[in-house]
Amino acid sequence: MVNKLSKKDLLTLDEYTKDEISLILSVSENIRTKQKNGEMFVPLLGKALGMIFRKSSTRTRVSFEIGMFQLGGAALYLSPNDMQLGRGETVADTARVLSRYLDGIMIRTYDHAEVEELAANATIPVINGLTDFTHPCQILADILTIKDKKKVLKGITVAYVGDANNVCNSWMFGAPKADLNLRVASPKGYEPDPAVFARAKKSAADNGTELVFTNDPRAAVENADVIYTDVWVSMGQEAESEKRKKEFDGFQINSELVRLAKKDAIIMHCLPAHRGEEISAEVIDGPQSVVFDEAENRLHVQKGVMALLMGNK
Ligand code: CP
Ligand code: NVA
């Protein structure tokens, strides 16, 4: 077991080892226990996080900002429209300047390459708060939620039903390293990125877990322990909205599909949800749904990530 992270940044879970993921989870659980016990824990006293958002956010923004506050530091919301970044200042120069003021940067943007460029030019940690490619903080919180609910990770099967998007990519990178089996079901034309799938397949083989893809949501969900979905139209895909809604027909998580899973299966969604599209109201608001515990775990996991990356090493 490692006691620190070898990376400066958190860009994708692909770059993290199994031990590092376990470390983040255990540090996050400790921080959560302290908070629940009303114990102050301020390893980031006097430190500051800049948060660059090119896309909307509820959970990521609030959990990072409040997480930073609870760890003793401050967080600054930075909109590219208000920064010189929006007027042509380069990402590299922005990274160099922000490194002189801040102790960490969280960024949510479209192009993953922008996050890589920011990280390459920043001397401080850069944390990916979602790109079109991945959403690592989400999947760390999801793994913690499964651990909370199922008590074990090894042998648990997650069925991801829906768009093989950023959240799905992070699931493919994260599941094998968390000892989780993963089945992905997406419609034709929305299958996982072959390169990500190939890497994840190798990771699954190395870690002794299963990873399968199918176009049949029923096959994915059969006997699963966890059913997971995400929106059919991600941020930036609004123009494809009508087409996607048609093409994802049959991929809704509803009672009929849930019945195929284990009786004690839990229902997860990274949120925001669109009831009546990727998930029925009955299921997301029903007794098997854990979506709000899952959302809460974003706070705890990101505090773990920030304490590890931005705390004194
Ligand atoms: N799940 C998630 O990242 O939510 P927000 O878009 O609200 O941050
Ligand atoms: N796939 C979604 C996730 C939102 C948290 C999106 O990118 O919009």
In 3D space, the residue among 165, 200, 199 whose CA is nearest the CA of residue 182 turns out to be: 200
Domain hosting residue 281, numbered range: 138-294
Query: CA–CA separation, 308 vs 247, rounded Å?
Result: 42
Same-domain status, 158 and 206 = yes
Considering every ligand atom shown, identify the ligand nearest to the alpha carbon of residue 141 and give its number. 1
269 is an active site residue: no
Here the CATH number for the domain that contains residue 304 is 3.40.50.1370
Ligand 1 centroid–CA 50 distance in Å is 17
CA 270 to ligand 1 center in whole angstroms: 7
Q: Are residues 26 and 81 in the same domain?
A: yes
Q: What is the distance in angstroms between the CA of the first residue and the CA of the last residue of the chain?
A: 16
298 among known catalytic residues: yes
Mutational test site, ligand 1, from 53, 56, 57, max ligand atoms within 8 Å of CB = 57
190 and 144 share one domain: yes
Indicate the residue type of 290.
Answer: V
* Residue 230 annotated in active site: yes
Domain count, the chain: 2
- Asked if the structure places residue 3 within a domain, the reply is no
Q: Write the residue with the smallest CA distance to atom 7 of ligand 2.
A: 234
Q: Does residue 180 sit in the same domain as residue 306? A: no
Nearest CA to ligand 1 atom 3: 60
**Residue 191 burial (C-beta neighbours within 10 Å; 0-12, 13-18, 19+):** middle
Candidates 135, 183, 244, 269; catalytic one:
135
Residuewise pLDDT in 10s, the chain (313 residues): 899 999 999 999 999 999 999 999 999 999 999 999 999 999 999 999 999 999 999 999 999 999 999 999 999 999 999 999 999 999 999 999 999 999 999 999 999 999 999 999 999 999 999 999 999 999 999 999 999 999 999 999 999 999 999 999 999 999 999 999 999 999 999 999 999 999 999 999 999 999 999 999 999 999 999 999 999 999 999 999 999 999 999 999 999 999 999 999 999 999 999 999 999 999 999 999 999 999 999 999 999 999 999 998 5
**Which atom of ligand 1 has the smallest separation from the CA of 235?**
6
Do residues 94 and 116 make contact, with C-beta atoms less than 8 angstroms apart? no
Residue 135 catalytic?
A: yes
| Residue among 32, 54, 59, 108 flagged as catalytic | 108
